[in-house]
Amino acid sequence: MASTSTSKLLLLICYVSLIFSVSSSSSSDLPSSPKVSLGLYYESLCPYCSSFIVNHLTKLFEDDLISIVDLHLSPWGNTKLRSDNATAVCQHGAFECLLDTVEACAIDAWPKLSDHFPFIHCVESLVTEHKYDKWETCYQKLNLNSKPVSDCLSSGHGDKLELKYAAETSALQPPHQYVPWVVVDGQPLYEDYENFISYICKAYKGAKKPDACAKYSSRHFIRSAKVNRFPLVCRKGVNRMWDLLERVKTSLLSYTGLL
């Protein structure tokens, strides 16, 4: 399983690097059109958020759709602030607060999407495998220097970044109801968020749309005819059972010296 996960990660890195290379080299040949804004408001340990990042968001790179998209990641989600407006209470416990801050620091340390997205993808892949306490292995897997993120965490800068994401999440109109909360050109997709590519293609006003748009438009038609399933979302409110399990896990890791 580990080798398969690593292979997928390396493949993603190749996809991202190739797409950004091709996009930058051929941008002069394309008609000038505004990119479609895509915002993902999420929290690191919500299983539906990690699944969306790992299994769906990567399609942007696989099909060259990133060339028409301005992707913004906001790692805060359903986290709440205590009355001091400085202390975060994360839906899935203290480890989620840590990973949200780690990912915020990664975005800040490596502003280019082609740099920070593979790292976030790696961390969230570990979440899907229930191995998220091994998140630091992503540095080695991606040949990244850990110092920028470590300094961000230890200096308190990461906490300030999280407050920034808290403010932008709170300012959403309409307000977010759950995560993942996916927004295309200012419009939330609600429970149809997995179908985000169809909305991107519809919103894009360029003369020539990526070939993948035709493929995803037909998929949207098929999916729309299906009966609605149980919503794959994490709704607001602290998950007490998860919080208890995380407290136990954190205590064990601290006791054994692994945290």
Closest CA to 180 of 87, 5, 57, 13: 57
Q: Cα(72)–Cα(167) distance, rounded to whole angstroms?
A: 15
pLDDT digits (tens, 9 = 90+) for 23-54: 444 444 444 679 999 999 999 999 999 999 99
Amino acid at 53: I
- Measured CA to CA in angstroms, residue 157 lies from 17, 109, 152, 214 at distances of 28, 11, 5, 43
Does the pLDDT of residue 20 top 50, yes or no?
A: no
pLDDT digits (tens, 9 = 90+) for 94-147: 999 999 999 999 999 999 999 999 999 999 999 999 999 999 999 999 999 999
**Percent of the chain topping pLDDT 90:** 65
Please give the mean pLDDT across all residues of the chain.
Answer: 84
**Hey, which bits of 95-198 come out as E strands?**
178-179, 181-184, 187-188
Region 78-101: what's the mean pLDDT? 94
Could you tell me the sign of the dihedral formed by the alpha carbons of 241, 246, 247, 253, in that order? positive
Give me the domains of the chain, ranges plus CATH numbers. Answer: 36-215 (3.40.30.10)
